[in-house]
Amino acid sequence: MTDLSTNRATPMGTWLRHDPELAKLLEEEATRQRTTLQLIASENFTSPAVLAATGSILTNKYAEGYPGRRYYGGNQVIDEVEDLARRRAMALFGAEHANVQPHAGAVANLAVYQALLEPGDTVLAMRLDQGGHLTHGSPASITSKIWRFVAYGVTPASNDSQHPGETIDFDQVAEVARRERPKLIVAGATAYPRQILADPFRQVADEVGARLMFDLAHPAGLVAAGVHPNPVALSDVVTFTTHKTLRGPRGGAIVCRAELAKQIDSAVFPGLQGGPLEHVVAAKAVAFGEAQQPEFRAYGAQVVANAQVLGESLAAEGFRLVSGGTENHLVLVDLRRFDEDLTGKVAQEVLDRAGITVNRNTIPDDPRSAFVTSGLRLGTAAETTAGMGPEQMRHIARLIGTALRRRHDDTELAAVRGEVAELCAGFVPYPELDGAREA
């Protein structure tokens, strides 16, 4: 048995030897991550230090409350851990207050709604099928059952290559806001390949007397790296996840103006959560520290450069890019120009068989359901961490084109899978763990 997908220095690697059933599964997942391409826009490869903190003894401690105000004894060290994470989050984003306890981005968003709204209040946010998130008021989400969501979307697609459309329709944002008088406006998206500026949202919010929440889940790491505008100064509150471009552990966080600190903190605990996951909070501190290093700026710039090359290369393969390109870490592909009959669902399954992990996604005004879709979303955050650059992005686009064109040919798919494995062998996400394997 090898040392699995975790840092060999932690006790976990040793102890899992006594649970061969689980150890085998972890080994299989480590192999999958090492030998196939990870192009899901919301994923990344954390550092071994983040893995170590996540697998640490801090998981043993109950710490309901906040530093200096806990409901359990023995939290002297935990207080320092959480304070370190809060200080680093504030420094990273230039914020007045941070709450690092949300277990996920969805919880962070719910906490903001709970802090700033009464049930039934109106919220203006981006529609799911236009690029928004489930927690932005999708009918399938509890958010839409508690609060009244009204929506904005993107402008129509156009054939004019200078003005391809499919960018946030700010006329619509203003028009709906004036008509509906929302108490909160939500900026931010989950499948939107362009930078999102806070300024136009702030102007509308001020005009109609709404608060502005920015859901920074996807580009948080790009903001930390200085390659996406920072919305913190212009927003009342900013939520984000720590595991996407920010490259930390799976989790959420909130930064806000000092005047909202008490409301936000109470909404997270005791409003929505019990004991915080302090091992994850520690890992968030590690990730915030890593994101402050100069190397992280270079990483963020490379993520965006890689996404641009991936997008251009996919366009050369015959795919249409939503909004005509990308300014961030992801590309949203409309499959219909490539092949009218190819759905996102089938494309995702075919690419899985070829060792290329992506997710199907609706595109703006998608004629197909969210389960089937006409699009794919691809991101470059993870494979950039593994060291890939423009040359590999061009190669990946060719492999995607080949796999989808020859999707009925098992031999061809197996050949692509072999080429993917060969490519991945040169860019392993955890070389230090492979060293441990061989030791």
| Residue tagged active-site, from 2, 62, 352, 394 | 62
By CB under 6 A, the residues from 284 to 343 that bind ligand DSN are none
Of 41 and 423, nearer to ligand DSN (C-beta) is: 41
Of 176 and 217, nearer to ligand DSN (C-beta) is: 217
| Residue tagged active-site, from 148, 250, 394, 405 | 250
Of 135 and 306, nearer to ligand DSN (C-beta) is: 135
Cα–Cα distance between 379 and 45 in angstroms, integer?
13
Contact criterion met (CB below 8 Å) for 8 and 15: no
Of 42 and 101, nearer to ligand DSN (C-beta) is: 42
Q: How does DSSP assign 6-25, residue by residue?
A: S-TTSHHHHHGGG-HHHHHH
Q: Which amino acid is at 291?
A: A
Quote the Cα angle for 37-40-45, to 5°: 70
Could you give the dihedral angle defined by the CA atoms of residues 301, 302, 304 and 310, in that order, rounded to the nearest 10 degrees? 160
Of 134 and 305, nearer to ligand DSN (C-beta) is: 134
CB of 329 to ligand DSN, least distance (A): 11
Surface-to-core class of residue 18, CB atoms within 10 Å of its CB (0-12 exposed, 13-18 middle, 19+ buried): exposed
CB of 19 to ligand DSN, least distance (A): 30
The verdict on whether 66 is a catalytic residue reads no
Contact criterion met (CB below 8 Å) for 302 and 389: yes
Of 124 and 216, nearer to ligand DSN (C-beta) is: 216
| Residue tagged active-site, from 54, 143, 241, 242 | 241
CB of 80 to ligand DSN, least distance (A): 30
CB of 216 to ligand DSN, least distance (A): 12
Of 42 and 402, nearer to ligand DSN (C-beta) is: 42
Cα–Cα distance between 62 and 249 in angstroms, integer?
19
CB atoms within 10 A of CB 9: 15
* Closest-approach residue to ligand DSN (CB): 42
Long-range contacts of the stretch 335-338 (C-beta < 8 A, 24+): 335/374, 335/375, 335/376, 335/404, 336/374, 338/401, 338/404
CB of 167 to ligand DSN, least distance (A): 19
The verdict on whether 24 is a catalytic residue reads no
Residue 279: DSSP 8-state? H
How many chain residues interact with ligand DSN (CB under 6 A)? 4
Quote the Cα angle for 385-390-393, to 5°: 80
Q: At what angle do helices 410-425 and 390-405 cross, to 10 degrees?
A: 170
Cα–Cα distance between 380 and 386 in angstroms, integer?
10
* x/- map, 374-393, ligand DSN, by CB under 6 A: --------------------
CB of 190 to ligand DSN, least distance (A): 4
Is 42 a binding residue for ligand DSN by CB under 6 A? The answer is yes
Taking alpha carbons only, the member of 343, 316, 377, 394 closest to residue 193 is 377
By CB under 6 A, the residues from 81 to 110 that bind ligand DSN are 105
CB of 432 to ligand DSN, least distance (A): 28
CB of 108 to ligand DSN, least distance (A): 11
Candidate list 109, 167, 190, 302; residue touching ligand DSN; CB under 6 A? 190
* x/- map, 196-235, ligand DSN, by CB under 6 A: ---------------------x------------------
Contact partners, residue 306, CB within 8 Å, separation at least 6:
380, 383, 384, 388, 389, 390, 393
Is 253 a binding residue for ligand DSN by CB under 6 A? The answer is no
CA-to-CA separations, 322 to 36, 92, 106, 335, 365, in angstroms, rounded: 26, 31, 25, 10, 11
The verdict on whether 62 is a catalytic residue reads yes
The verdict on whether 284 is a catalytic residue reads no
Of 105 and 182, nearer to ligand DSN (C-beta) is: 105
The verdict on whether 59 is a catalytic residue reads no
Cα–Cα distance between 254 and 105 in angstroms, integer?
9
The verdict on whether 82 is a catalytic residue reads no
Q: Which residues make up the interface to ligand DSN (CB under 6 A)?
A: 42, 105, 190, 217
| Catalytically active residues, by annotation | 62, 64, 215, 241, 244, 250
